[in-house]
């Protein structure tokens, strides 16, 4: 009976934690089909050229091994990626006179934020969305902070079809603000303070956040050392899955993930 009561208490606490976060409604972006090229009766004889929007074969083969997308889905993602990059380039500020135009080699942060909000319904706090951006691999060949195609695919692979371990590691990395391998009291305070509604007339709203931090810490800090390690987080989430996103939404809902994957399968 004590074990049962403890499990009920854990679930109720987890639900309460999720209840203090802001969840707004966001519209799902509809996928547009590419118009078919007009027929040409007698095309001129010339050497075939690889279409600009064709996913390179080497990249395709690599991502088939390292992501959870099939060939058709990867080609659809590549078409989408090129459109997002083109949109980012079009929205870039005008260059200084005499200087070459700014060339964005990948998905920039503003475009990434728009996709997370509008397509995947990540209508969470900007701190969380910025952390999601920071945790996606960009590497030495990733351009000036932009997401290259392989990083874009690998990140989406975790968000949309990740294993329990991959999704948990993703959330932990988002919450670990200074990337030192632990979620500390200070990090919890910043994350929860940004997510709570500020009530008018509160003399010391920070005090309520501190109380909430202590509540969360008691649930997540399994080894009681005053901070949450990856092992603590894993043990707590396995016992109560609702604690996975205790500090803010950083994964798309199943409904939006399913809808997005469906658009990939319908792209021509």
Is the residue at 188 inside a domain? Answer: yes
Is the residue at 17 inside a domain? Answer: no
Tokens of 204: 């010391």
Q: What are the tens digits of pLDDT across the range 207-242?
A: 888 999 999 999 999 999 999 999 999 999 999 999
Mean per-residue pLDDT, 162-190: 95
Arithmetic mean of pLDDT over the chain? 78
The total domain count for the chain is 1
The answer to whether 155 and 81 are in contact (CB under 8 A) is: no
Judged against a pLDDT cut of 80, whether residue 12 lies above it is answered with: no
DSSP secondary structure of the chain: -HHHHHHHHHHHHHHHHHHTS-----PPPPPPPPPPPPP-SSPPP------TTPPPHHHHHHHHHHSS--HHHHHHHHHHHHHHHHHHHHHSPPPPTTSPPP---SB-HHHHHHHHHHTT---S-HHHHHHHHHHS---TTS-SSPBPHHHHHHHHHHHHH--HHHHHHHHHHHH-TT-SS-B-HHHHHHHHHHHSPPPTT-S-HHHHHHHHHHHHHHHH-TT-SSSB-HHHHHHHHHH-GGGGGTTS--S--HHHHHHHHHHHHH--
Judged against a pLDDT cut of 90, whether residue 164 lies above it is answered with: yes
The answer to whether 16 and 218 are in contact (CB under 8 A) is: no
Instruction: Grade residue 183 by pLDDT with cuts at 50, 70 and 90.
Output: very high
Q: Who has greater pLDDT, 81 or 89?
A: 81
Q: What are the tens digits of pLDDT across the range 15-74?
A: 445 443 433 233 333 333 334 445 444 444 443 333 456 899 999 999 999 999 999 999
| Range 12-35 burial, b when 16+ CB lie within 10 A, else e | ebbeebbeebeeeeeeebebeeee
Q: What share of the chain has pLDDT > 90, as a percent?
A: 51
Mean per-residue pLDDT, 235-255: 93
The residues with which 147 forms a beta bridge, in sequence order, are 107
Is the residue at 3 inside a domain? Answer: no
Is the residue at 196 inside a domain? Answer: yes
Judged against a pLDDT cut of 70, whether residue 108 lies above it is answered with: yes
pLDDT at residue 207, as a whole number: 84
Q: Could you tell me which of 211, 1, 245 has the C-alpha nearest to residue 124?
A: 245
Instruction: Grade residue 91 by pLDDT with cuts at 50, 70 and 90.
Output: confident
pLDDT at residue 87, as a whole number: 85
pLDDT at residue 119, as a whole number: 92
102: domain CATH number is 1.10.238.10
Is the residue at 35 inside a domain? Answer: no
- Calculate the CA dihedral of residues 228, 231, 233, 236 and round it to 10 degrees: -120
Alpha carbon distance 179, 177 (integer Å)? 6
Is the residue at 216 inside a domain? Answer: yes
Mean per-residue pLDDT, 186-212: 77
Is the residue at 9 inside a domain? Answer: no
How many Cα atoms within 13 Å fall on the side-chain side of residue 149? 20
Domain that holds residue 202: 52-266
Q: Could you tell me which of 78, 128, 138 has the C-alpha nearest to residue 108?
A: 138
User: Rounded to the nearest 5°, which phi and psi values hold at 83?
Assistant: -65, -40
pLDDT at residue 202, as a whole number: 57
- 88-97, 106-115, 183-192: range with lowest mean pLDDT: 88-97
Is the residue at 124 inside a domain? Answer: yes
pTM (2 d.p.): 0.74
The answer to whether 192 and 205 are in contact (CB under 8 A) is: no
pLDDT at residue 198, as a whole number: 54
pLDDT at residue 1, as a whole number: 52
Judged against a pLDDT cut of 60, whether residue 6 lies above it is answered with: no
Q: Who has greater pLDDT, 194 or 172?
A: 172
pLDDT at residue 96, as a whole number: 58
């Amino acid at each position: 009976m004590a074990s049962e009561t403890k499990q009920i208490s854990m679930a109720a606490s987890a639900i309460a934690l999720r209840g203090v976060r802001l969840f707004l409604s966001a519209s799902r972006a509809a996928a547009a089909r590419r118009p078919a090229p007009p027929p040409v009766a007698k095309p001129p004889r010339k050497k075939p050229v690889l279409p600009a929007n064709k996913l390179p074969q080497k990249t395709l083969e690599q991502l088939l091994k390292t992501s959870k997308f099939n060939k058709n889905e990867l080609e659809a993602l590549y078409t989408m990626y090129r459109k997002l990059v083109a949109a980012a380039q079009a929205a870039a500020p005008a260059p200084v006179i005499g200087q070459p135009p700014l060339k964005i080699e990948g998905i920039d942060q503003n475009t990434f934020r728009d996709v997370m909000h509008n397509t995947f319904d990540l209508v969470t706090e900007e701190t969380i969305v910025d952390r999601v951006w920071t945790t996606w691999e960009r590497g030495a060949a990733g351009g000036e902070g932009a997401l290259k195609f392989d990083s874009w695919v690998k990140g989406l692979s975790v968000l949309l079809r990740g294993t329990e371990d991959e999704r948990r590691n993703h959330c932990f990395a988002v919450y670990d603000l200074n990337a030192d391998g632990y979620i500390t009291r200070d990090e919890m305070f910043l994350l929860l303070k940004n997510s709570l509604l500020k009530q008018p007339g509160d003399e010391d709203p920070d005090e309520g956040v501190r109380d909430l931090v202590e509540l969360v810490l008691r649930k997540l800090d399994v080894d009681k050392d005053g901070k949450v390690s990856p092992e603590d987080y894993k043990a707590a989430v396995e016992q109560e899955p609702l604690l996975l996103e205790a500090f803010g939404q950083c994964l798309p809902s199943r409904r939006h993930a399913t809808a997005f994957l469906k658009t990939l399968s319908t792209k021509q």
